[in-house]
Amino acid sequence: MTHNLDASLDDVIDRALSDQRIVGTVVLVARGGDLVYARAAGDADRERGLPMALETVFRLASVTKPIVAAAALAMVERGDLALDAPVSRWLPDFRPPGPGGAPAEITVGQLLSHTSGLSYGFLQPDGGPYLAAGVSDGLDLPDRAMADNLARLGKIELFFPPGAAWNYSVGLDVLGAVMEQAVGKPLPQLVDELILRPLGMSASGFYVDSAGQLATPYIDGRPPRPMQEPDVSPFFELSGIRYSPARATRPASFPSGGAGMVGTAGDVLKLLEAVRTGGGPVLSQDSAASMLSNQIGELTVTTHGPGWGFGYAGAVLKDPAAAGSPLRQGTVSWGGVYGHSWQIVPDRETTVVALTNTAIEGMSGVFPGELGAAVAAAVG
Protein backbone atom coordinates (compact mmCIF):
# COMPACT_ATOMS: atom_id res chain seq x y z
CA MET A 1 0.00 0.00 0.00
CA THR A 2 2.70 2.46 1.01
CA HIS A 3 4.58 2.34 -2.30
CA ASN A 4 1.38 2.80 -4.33
CA LEU A 5 0.26 5.60 -2.02
CA ASP A 6 3.62 7.35 -2.28
CA ALA A 7 3.55 7.29 -6.08
CA SER A 8 -0.08 8.40 -6.26
CA LEU A 9 0.34 11.29 -3.84
CA ASP A 10 3.61 12.40 -5.41
CA ASP A 11 1.84 12.52 -8.77
CA VAL A 12 -1.06 14.59 -7.41
CA ILE A 13 1.32 17.05 -5.73
CA ASP A 14 3.69 17.31 -8.69
CA ARG A 15 0.85 18.03 -11.13
CA ALA A 16 -0.70 20.65 -8.84
CA LEU A 17 2.65 22.44 -8.69
CA SER A 18 3.49 22.13 -12.39
CA ASP A 19 -0.02 23.29 -13.36
CA GLN A 20 0.50 26.29 -11.05
CA ARG A 21 -2.67 25.49 -9.11
CA ILE A 22 -0.84 25.69 -5.78
CA VAL A 23 2.40 27.37 -4.71
CA GLY A 24 3.39 24.99 -1.94
CA THR A 25 2.08 22.23 0.31
CA VAL A 26 2.79 19.90 3.21
CA VAL A 27 1.01 16.53 3.02
CA LEU A 28 1.08 13.96 5.83
CA VAL A 29 -0.61 10.57 5.99
CA ALA A 30 -0.76 8.38 9.11
CA ARG A 31 -1.92 4.74 9.02
CA GLY A 32 -2.46 2.71 12.17
CA GLY A 33 -0.68 5.38 14.16
CA ASP A 34 2.43 5.39 11.96
CA LEU A 35 3.45 8.22 9.66
CA VAL A 36 3.51 6.52 6.24
CA TYR A 37 3.83 9.62 4.02
CA ALA A 38 5.35 13.04 4.63
CA ARG A 39 6.26 15.53 1.96
CA ALA A 40 6.86 19.26 1.78
CA ALA A 41 6.83 20.56 -1.80
CA GLY A 42 6.87 23.85 -3.63
CA ASP A 43 7.45 27.22 -1.98
CA ALA A 44 6.50 28.72 1.35
CA ASP A 45 7.31 32.11 -0.23
CA ARG A 46 7.74 32.05 -4.00
CA GLU A 47 9.02 35.62 -4.35
CA ARG A 48 11.72 35.14 -1.74
CA GLY A 49 12.59 31.65 -2.95
CA LEU A 50 11.83 30.02 0.41
CA PRO A 51 11.02 26.33 0.00
CA MET A 52 8.18 24.69 1.86
CA ALA A 53 9.30 22.61 4.88
CA LEU A 54 7.55 20.05 7.04
CA GLU A 55 7.85 22.55 9.91
CA THR A 56 6.28 25.47 7.99
CA VAL A 57 3.60 27.24 10.03
CA PHE A 58 0.36 28.15 8.24
CA ARG A 59 -2.65 30.31 8.96
CA LEU A 60 -5.08 27.47 9.64
CA ALA A 61 -8.43 29.15 8.89
CA SER A 62 -11.17 26.57 9.62
CA VAL A 63 -8.67 23.86 10.52
CA THR A 64 -8.92 25.83 13.77
CA LYS A 65 -12.42 24.44 14.33
CA PRO A 66 -11.65 20.84 15.39
CA ILE A 67 -8.96 22.11 17.77
CA VAL A 68 -11.34 24.54 19.48
CA ALA A 69 -14.19 22.01 19.35
CA ALA A 70 -11.98 19.53 21.21
CA ALA A 71 -11.23 22.18 23.84
CA ALA A 72 -14.95 22.92 24.23
CA LEU A 73 -15.76 19.22 24.65
CA ALA A 74 -13.00 18.94 27.26
CA MET A 75 -14.73 21.78 29.12
CA VAL A 76 -18.05 19.93 28.88
CA GLU A 77 -16.39 16.91 30.47
CA ARG A 78 -15.13 19.12 33.33
CA GLY A 79 -18.59 20.56 33.88
CA ASP A 80 -17.60 24.07 32.77
CA LEU A 81 -20.03 23.90 29.82
CA ALA A 82 -23.05 21.82 28.84
CA LEU A 83 -24.08 21.01 25.28
CA ASP A 84 -27.76 21.69 25.97
CA ALA A 85 -27.16 24.90 27.94
CA PRO A 86 -28.20 28.24 26.41
CA VAL A 87 -25.41 30.52 25.29
CA SER A 88 -27.12 33.36 27.19
CA ARG A 89 -26.03 31.70 30.46
CA TRP A 90 -22.54 33.04 29.71
CA LEU A 91 -23.33 35.77 27.19
CA PRO A 92 -26.55 37.29 28.57
CA ASP A 93 -26.64 40.01 25.91
CA PHE A 94 -26.31 37.57 23.01
CA ARG A 95 -29.84 36.58 22.07
CA PRO A 96 -30.18 37.31 18.35
CA PRO A 97 -33.68 37.74 16.96
CA GLY A 98 -35.11 34.58 15.47
CA PRO A 99 -37.26 34.61 12.34
CA GLY A 100 -40.17 36.80 13.33
CA GLY A 101 -38.12 38.99 15.64
CA ALA A 102 -38.39 37.40 19.09
CA PRO A 103 -35.04 36.77 20.88
CA ALA A 104 -33.82 33.23 20.27
CA GLU A 105 -31.92 30.91 22.59
CA ILE A 106 -28.96 29.11 21.01
CA THR A 107 -27.29 26.18 22.78
CA VAL A 108 -23.61 25.30 23.03
CA GLY A 109 -24.25 22.13 21.02
CA GLN A 110 -25.92 24.10 18.24
CA LEU A 111 -22.86 26.34 17.97
CA LEU A 112 -20.65 23.25 17.67
CA SER A 113 -22.84 21.56 15.05
CA HIS A 114 -23.62 24.67 12.95
CA THR A 115 -27.35 24.39 13.61
CA SER A 116 -27.62 27.74 15.45
CA GLY A 117 -29.17 29.82 12.68
CA LEU A 118 -25.98 31.88 12.31
CA SER A 119 -24.08 32.16 9.03
CA TYR A 120 -20.87 33.50 7.48
CA GLY A 121 -20.58 36.75 5.57
CA PHE A 122 -18.77 34.98 2.72
CA LEU A 123 -21.78 32.69 2.26
CA GLN A 124 -24.00 35.71 1.60
CA PRO A 125 -24.32 37.82 -1.55
CA ASP A 126 -22.97 41.34 -1.87
CA GLY A 127 -24.96 43.53 0.48
CA GLY A 128 -25.85 40.57 2.71
CA PRO A 129 -26.75 41.27 6.34
CA TYR A 130 -23.36 40.37 7.84
CA LEU A 131 -21.45 42.57 5.41
CA ALA A 132 -23.95 45.39 5.87
CA ALA A 133 -23.49 45.20 9.66
CA GLY A 134 -19.69 44.93 9.43
CA VAL A 135 -19.51 41.48 11.06
CA SER A 136 -16.10 39.82 10.88
CA ASP A 137 -15.86 36.20 9.71
CA GLY A 138 -12.81 35.76 11.95
CA LEU A 139 -10.47 36.10 8.95
CA ASP A 140 -10.66 39.84 8.41
CA LEU A 141 -10.93 43.20 10.18
CA PRO A 142 -7.82 43.00 12.39
CA ASP A 143 -7.96 44.58 15.84
CA ARG A 144 -11.71 43.96 16.08
CA ALA A 145 -12.69 43.12 19.67
CA MET A 146 -14.93 40.15 20.39
CA ALA A 147 -17.49 42.30 22.22
CA ASP A 148 -17.81 44.54 19.17
CA ASN A 149 -18.29 41.60 16.81
CA LEU A 150 -20.85 39.93 19.10
CA ALA A 151 -22.80 43.18 19.41
CA ARG A 152 -23.01 43.49 15.61
CA LEU A 153 -23.88 39.82 15.16
CA GLY A 154 -26.47 39.81 17.93
CA LYS A 155 -28.64 42.38 16.16
CA ILE A 156 -29.06 40.34 12.96
CA GLU A 157 -32.02 38.01 12.54
CA LEU A 158 -31.08 34.31 12.53
CA PHE A 159 -31.46 32.50 9.22
CA PHE A 160 -33.68 29.85 10.84
CA PRO A 161 -34.84 28.85 14.33
CA PRO A 162 -31.95 27.23 16.26
CA GLY A 163 -31.86 23.50 15.58
CA ALA A 164 -34.10 23.63 12.51
CA ALA A 165 -31.39 23.40 9.83
CA TRP A 166 -27.65 23.25 9.20
CA ASN A 167 -25.67 26.27 8.00
CA TYR A 168 -21.91 26.77 8.17
CA SER A 169 -21.32 29.70 10.47
CA VAL A 170 -19.35 31.86 12.88
CA GLY A 171 -20.73 29.65 15.66
CA LEU A 172 -17.25 28.61 16.79
CA ASP A 173 -16.32 32.29 17.20
CA VAL A 174 -19.31 32.75 19.49
CA LEU A 175 -18.38 29.52 21.27
CA GLY A 176 -14.90 30.89 21.91
CA ALA A 177 -16.47 33.84 23.72
CA VAL A 178 -18.66 31.44 25.73
CA MET A 179 -15.61 29.39 26.71
CA GLU A 180 -13.80 32.51 27.90
CA GLN A 181 -16.73 33.62 30.04
CA ALA A 182 -17.30 30.15 31.49
CA VAL A 183 -13.92 30.04 33.23
CA GLY A 184 -12.58 33.59 33.02
CA LYS A 185 -9.59 32.77 30.83
CA PRO A 186 -8.68 33.96 27.31
CA LEU A 187 -9.42 31.44 24.57
CA PRO A 188 -5.75 31.12 23.51
CA GLN A 189 -4.83 30.16 27.08
CA LEU A 190 -7.69 27.66 27.31
CA VAL A 191 -6.79 25.97 24.03
CA ASP A 192 -3.14 25.85 25.06
CA GLU A 193 -3.90 24.28 28.45
CA LEU A 194 -6.54 21.81 27.28
CA ILE A 195 -5.22 20.72 23.88
CA LEU A 196 -1.92 22.12 22.62
CA ARG A 197 0.32 21.36 25.59
CA PRO A 198 -1.08 17.90 26.37
CA LEU A 199 -0.67 16.86 22.72
CA GLY A 200 2.71 18.54 22.19
CA MET A 201 1.36 20.90 19.51
CA SER A 202 4.18 23.32 20.24
CA ALA A 203 4.08 25.25 16.95
CA SER A 204 0.38 26.12 17.20
CA GLY A 205 -1.47 29.06 18.68
CA PHE A 206 -3.44 32.15 17.71
CA TYR A 207 -0.74 34.75 17.03
CA VAL A 208 2.86 35.09 15.87
CA ASP A 209 5.29 37.99 16.20
CA SER A 210 5.81 38.54 12.48
CA ALA A 211 4.33 37.40 9.15
CA GLY A 212 7.74 36.03 8.19
CA GLN A 213 7.16 33.14 10.58
CA LEU A 214 4.27 31.92 8.42
CA ALA A 215 3.82 30.54 4.93
CA THR A 216 3.04 33.41 2.56
CA PRO A 217 -0.58 33.14 1.39
CA TYR A 218 -1.63 33.25 -2.26
CA ILE A 219 -4.94 33.58 -4.11
CA ASP A 220 -5.93 31.40 -7.05
CA GLY A 221 -4.62 32.29 -10.50
CA ARG A 222 -2.22 30.94 -13.10
CA PRO A 223 0.11 31.55 -11.40
CA PRO A 224 -1.46 32.25 -7.99
CA ARG A 225 -0.92 35.84 -6.85
CA PRO A 226 0.39 36.93 -3.44
CA MET A 227 -2.44 37.80 -1.07
CA GLN A 228 -2.75 41.51 -0.30
CA GLU A 229 -3.69 43.23 2.97
CA PRO A 230 -6.68 43.11 2.96
CA ASP A 231 -7.86 40.94 0.06
CA VAL A 232 -10.91 39.17 -1.32
CA SER A 233 -11.05 35.79 -3.03
CA PRO A 234 -14.01 35.06 -5.32
CA PHE A 235 -16.26 32.33 -3.91
CA PHE A 236 -18.99 31.01 -6.21
CA GLU A 237 -21.43 33.83 -7.03
CA LEU A 238 -21.34 35.16 -3.47
CA SER A 239 -19.64 38.19 -1.90
CA GLY A 240 -16.21 36.57 -1.73
CA ILE A 241 -13.97 35.51 1.15
CA ARG A 242 -12.41 38.49 2.92
CA TYR A 243 -8.90 38.03 4.26
CA SER A 244 -6.55 40.04 6.40
CA PRO A 245 -3.29 38.07 6.64
CA ALA A 246 -1.99 40.59 9.22
CA ARG A 247 -4.63 39.39 11.68
CA ALA A 248 -2.32 36.57 12.84
CA THR A 249 0.29 39.14 13.95
CA ARG A 250 -2.09 41.44 15.84
CA PRO A 251 -3.26 40.08 19.22
CA ALA A 252 -5.81 42.89 19.52
CA SER A 253 -7.80 40.90 16.95
CA PHE A 254 -10.33 38.71 18.77
CA PRO A 255 -9.21 35.06 18.95
CA SER A 256 -11.44 33.44 16.33
CA GLY A 257 -12.47 29.97 17.47
CA GLY A 258 -13.54 29.23 13.92
CA ALA A 259 -10.63 30.53 11.87
CA GLY A 260 -7.96 32.26 13.96
CA MET A 261 -5.22 29.75 14.69
CA VAL A 262 -1.81 29.09 13.15
CA GLY A 263 0.04 25.78 13.17
CA THR A 264 1.93 23.08 11.32
CA ALA A 265 0.65 20.04 9.47
CA GLY A 266 2.35 17.89 12.10
CA ASP A 267 0.48 19.60 14.91
CA VAL A 268 -2.85 19.22 13.11
CA LEU A 269 -2.08 15.53 12.63
CA LYS A 270 -1.48 15.16 16.38
CA LEU A 271 -4.95 16.53 17.15
CA LEU A 272 -6.74 14.47 14.50
CA GLU A 273 -4.93 11.29 15.51
CA ALA A 274 -5.80 11.86 19.17
CA VAL A 275 -9.46 12.17 18.18
CA ARG A 276 -9.32 9.15 15.87
CA THR A 277 -7.77 6.93 18.53
CA GLY A 278 -10.29 7.75 21.25
CA GLY A 279 -9.24 11.11 22.67
CA GLY A 280 -5.77 10.40 24.02
CA PRO A 281 -4.89 12.62 26.98
CA VAL A 282 -7.40 15.36 26.10
CA LEU A 283 -10.87 13.79 25.60
CA SER A 284 -12.96 10.83 26.67
CA GLN A 285 -13.80 8.15 24.12
CA ASP A 286 -17.39 9.41 23.97
CA SER A 287 -16.33 12.98 23.26
CA ALA A 288 -13.86 11.86 20.61
CA ALA A 289 -16.56 9.71 19.01
CA SER A 290 -18.94 12.69 18.93
CA MET A 291 -16.43 14.57 16.82
CA LEU A 292 -16.42 11.80 14.21
CA SER A 293 -20.11 10.82 14.14
CA ASN A 294 -23.14 12.60 12.71
CA GLN A 295 -24.72 14.99 15.21
CA ILE A 296 -27.41 16.58 13.03
CA GLY A 297 -29.81 13.75 12.23
CA GLU A 298 -31.22 14.03 8.72
CA LEU A 299 -30.50 17.74 8.28
CA THR A 300 -28.78 18.62 4.99
CA VAL A 301 -25.14 19.70 5.04
CA THR A 302 -25.64 22.46 2.49
CA THR A 303 -21.93 22.76 1.64
CA HIS A 304 -21.77 19.08 0.66
CA GLY A 305 -25.26 17.93 -0.35
CA PRO A 306 -26.88 14.48 -0.07
CA GLY A 307 -25.14 11.64 1.72
CA TRP A 308 -23.32 13.78 4.28
CA GLY A 309 -23.83 14.43 7.98
CA PHE A 310 -21.83 16.58 10.37
CA GLY A 311 -19.90 15.71 13.54
CA TYR A 312 -18.29 18.14 15.93
CA ALA A 313 -15.04 17.90 13.92
CA GLY A 314 -16.33 18.08 10.34
CA ALA A 315 -18.50 16.53 7.65
CA VAL A 316 -19.24 12.79 7.98
CA LEU A 317 -19.81 10.71 4.84
CA LYS A 318 -22.97 8.69 5.54
CA ASP A 319 -23.67 7.39 2.03
CA PRO A 320 -20.93 7.53 -0.64
CA ALA A 321 -23.37 6.58 -3.42
CA ALA A 322 -25.81 9.35 -2.56
CA ALA A 323 -22.91 11.78 -2.26
CA GLY A 324 -21.28 10.66 -5.48
CA SER A 325 -18.03 10.43 -3.55
CA PRO A 326 -15.02 8.09 -4.01
CA LEU A 327 -14.35 8.29 -0.27
CA ARG A 328 -15.18 5.52 2.18
CA GLN A 329 -18.33 5.55 4.27
CA GLY A 330 -17.59 7.10 7.67
CA THR A 331 -14.84 9.37 6.34
CA VAL A 332 -14.72 12.66 8.24
CA SER A 333 -13.28 15.68 6.45
CA TRP A 334 -13.12 19.44 6.35
CA GLY A 335 -10.80 22.22 5.21
CA GLY A 336 -9.80 25.83 5.58
CA VAL A 337 -10.06 28.82 3.24
CA TYR A 338 -6.36 29.61 3.30
CA GLY A 339 -6.03 26.40 1.26
CA HIS A 340 -6.23 23.35 3.51
CA SER A 341 -7.96 19.98 3.74
CA TRP A 342 -7.92 17.03 6.10
CA GLN A 343 -9.68 13.70 6.45
CA ILE A 344 -9.96 10.79 8.85
CA VAL A 345 -10.92 7.33 7.57
CA PRO A 346 -11.83 5.61 10.85
CA ASP A 347 -12.26 2.02 9.62
CA ARG A 348 -8.90 2.17 7.86
CA GLU A 349 -7.13 3.89 10.78
CA THR A 350 -5.98 6.55 8.33
CA THR A 351 -5.59 10.32 8.76
CA VAL A 352 -4.57 12.79 6.05
CA VAL A 353 -3.50 16.42 6.50
CA ALA A 354 -2.84 18.59 3.44
CA LEU A 355 -1.99 22.23 4.14
CA THR A 356 -1.25 24.58 1.23
CA ASN A 357 -0.68 28.32 0.96
CA THR A 358 -3.07 28.73 -1.98
CA ALA A 359 -6.68 29.80 -1.53
CA ILE A 360 -9.03 28.36 -2.31
CA GLU A 361 -7.65 25.61 -4.59
CA GLY A 362 -6.03 23.88 -1.63
CA MET A 363 -9.38 23.65 0.17
CA SER A 364 -11.96 22.82 -2.47
CA GLY A 365 -10.20 22.62 -5.83
CA VAL A 366 -8.81 19.78 -7.89
CA PHE A 367 -5.90 19.20 -5.50
CA PRO A 368 -7.76 18.03 -2.35
CA GLY A 369 -10.21 16.01 -4.46
CA GLU A 370 -7.40 14.10 -6.14
CA LEU A 371 -5.55 13.61 -2.84
CA GLY A 372 -8.64 12.17 -1.17
CA ALA A 373 -9.35 9.85 -4.06
CA ALA A 374 -5.72 8.65 -4.10
CA VAL A 375 -5.83 7.83 -0.39
CA ALA A 376 -9.22 6.10 -0.70
CA ALA A 377 -7.90 3.95 -3.55
CA ALA A 378 -4.76 3.04 -1.61
CA VAL A 379 -6.47 2.07 1.64
CA GLY A 380 -9.18 0.03 -0.10
Give buried/exposed letters for 199-221 (b at 16+ CB in 10 A, else e).
bebebbbbbbeebeebbbbbbbe
**Dihedral angle of Cα 304, 310, 313, 315, to the nearest 10 degrees:** -30
Q: Give CA–CA dist 352/329, Å, rounded.
A: 16
Exactly one of 8, 62, 169, 256 is catalytic; which is it?
62
Tell me the β-bridge partners of 57.
Answer: 214
Q: Give CA–CA dist 379/30, Å, rounded.
A: 11
Q: How many other CB atoms sit within 10 Å of the CB of residue 282?
A: 21
Name the nearest CA neighbour of 161 among 194, 192, 115, 199.
115
Does the active-site annotation cover 284? no
Residue 341 CA: distances (Å) to CA of 55, 208, 239, 332, 334: 17, 22, 22, 11, 6
Name the nearest CA neighbour of 166 among 101, 131, 97, 119.
119
In 239-278, beta strands by DSSP E? 241-243, 262-263
**Dihedral angle of Cα 68, 347, 376, 352, to the nearest 10 degrees:** 30
Q: Give CA–CA dist 206/194, Å, rounded.
A: 14
**Residues carrying an active site annotation:** 62
